[in-house]
Amino acid sequence: MALGARDQIAMWEQVLRLCRLRVGEAVVLLVGPDSLPENARAAGDAVLAVGARLARLELGQGAPPKAVASERTAYFGPTALTGNLPAVAAMKSADLVIDLMGIDRGTEQQEILDSGTRILLVKEPPEVLARLVPTEDDRRRVLAAATVLGQAREMHVTSAAGTDLRVRLGQYSVLTEYGLADEPGRWDHWPSGFLATWPNEGSAQGTVVIDSGDIILPFKDYVRSPIRLTVAGGYIRAIDGGFDADFLSEYMASFADPEGYAVSHLGWGLQDRALWTALRLYDKRQTNAMDARSFLGNFMFSTGPNLEGGGSRSTPCHLDIPMRRCSLALDGVPMTIAGRVVPADQQARTAA
């Protein structure tokens, strides 16, 4: 359902206030060739309504991505910002960057965050943003889960479909996404509602069965036939199954990059307002699939880079794979059982 301009500005203002944007702070609104014009308009108007100072930074087309069909939902690699020193400098001197383009993670983005600038990435259309306006309760749940994840030393994921994956933890940082860039140096993505970390180098071991109904990004599609991944020493060593396995195998091979087979961030979804079904209801170009990444109780398996977590692995071959009905335990303590979130402090507060 289309959202009127006034409602869009109001929701942006709400989110910017939750990001603790204050009167007189400097905001850079980063706009790229694929940014949605209505988001750019509403965000800019909301910045001014809060009383902050606005600079709109519009970048042109960057180097041609290695991704096919300009698909950037799970793409890591050079952007129009890469090597653009004045643009990076402008963002380092801002208090908040509203990123409607998509900065390459782990490179310029880290440099900007290290300067204390907070960054909020926004790519979904207004109606998705409106359904998933972040709340204080979203933040509370994700941070409660992050406390447990940050102390864990082993993650064990199982499913009735055949997943049995173990990884050691502690080498890399914990990524929290609750939709608000509310602390200096914090990056977040509106909408979201999940957390993740990266396995210790070489520690991922076992089997991952991507089952019918699980989602592979950037394909933005639901798997129809199970895909069996054999994982050893931190890398996927075999991909077996029917058509879906064949397609995945061919896609990954097209990058000709062994690092694309590494196991990347692993975590679970905590956003009760995100919908597993949403992806099928939008045209592929309309959505960035944040519903899929965030829906409550998913196990998100991923492959490829770990730069963002503090590692040194860089590869443009990156897959986010939100899976249903998995059981995820940290040091033997269940976080999810068959896709249901277990700890009480990770549950949404129901209205009194």
SS3 state of residue 218: coil
Cα–Cα dist 139/11, whole Å? 17
- 111: tokens are 């440099």
> Does residue 158 bind Fe ion (CB under 5 A)?
no
Q: Which of 29, 265 has the CB closer to Fe ion?
A: 265
Of the residues 79, 302, 303, 315, which one makes contact with Fe ion according to CB under 5 A = 302
Among the candidate windows 32-40, 110-118, 253-261, 300-308, which touches Fe ion by CB under 5 A?
A: 300-308
What is the three-state SS of 98-137?
EECCCCCCCCHHHHHHHCCCEEEEECCCHHHHHHCCCCHH
> Does residue 109 bind Fe ion (CB under 5 A)?
no
Among the candidate windows 99-107, 110-118, 126-134, 298-306, which touches Fe ion by CB under 5 A?
A: 298-306
Q: Least distance (Å) from Fe ion to the CB of residue 251? A: 15
Q: Which of 31, 204 has the CB closer to Fe ion?
A: 204
Q: Least distance (Å) from Fe ion to the CB of residue 74? A: 6
Site pattern 245..284 for Fe ion (x: CB under 5 A): ----------------------------------------
H-run or E-run covering 175: strand 174-177
| φ, ψ of residue 348 in degrees (nearest 5) | -70, 140
Alpha helices in 162-313 (DSSP H): 243-253, 290-294
Q: Least distance (Å) from Fe ion to the CB of residue 159? A: 20
- Nearest to residue 10, comparing CAs of 96, 95, 122, 133? 133
> Does residue 192 bind Fe ion (CB under 5 A)?
no
Q: Least distance (Å) from Fe ion to the CB of residue 295? A: 15
Number of residues that bind Fe ion (CB under 5 A): 2
- 22: tokens are 């204050």
Q: Which of 10, 270 has the CB closer to Fe ion?
A: 270
Cα–Cα dist 217/195, whole Å? 17
Cα–Cα dist 118/124, whole Å? 19
> Does residue 104 bind Fe ion (CB under 5 A)?
no
SS3 state of residue 139: helix
Q: Least distance (Å) from Fe ion to the CB of residue 191? A: 15
> Does residue 303 bind Fe ion (CB under 5 A)?
no
- Nearest to residue 179, comparing CAs of 214, 148, 141, 230? 141
Cα–Cα dist 290/189, whole Å? 9
Site pattern 311..330 for Fe ion (x: CB under 5 A): ---------x----------
Q: Which of 138, 320 has the CB closer to Fe ion?
A: 320
Cα-Cα-Cα-Cα dihedral sign, residues 148, 149, 151, 152: positive
Interaction site with Fe ion (CB under 5 A):
302, 320
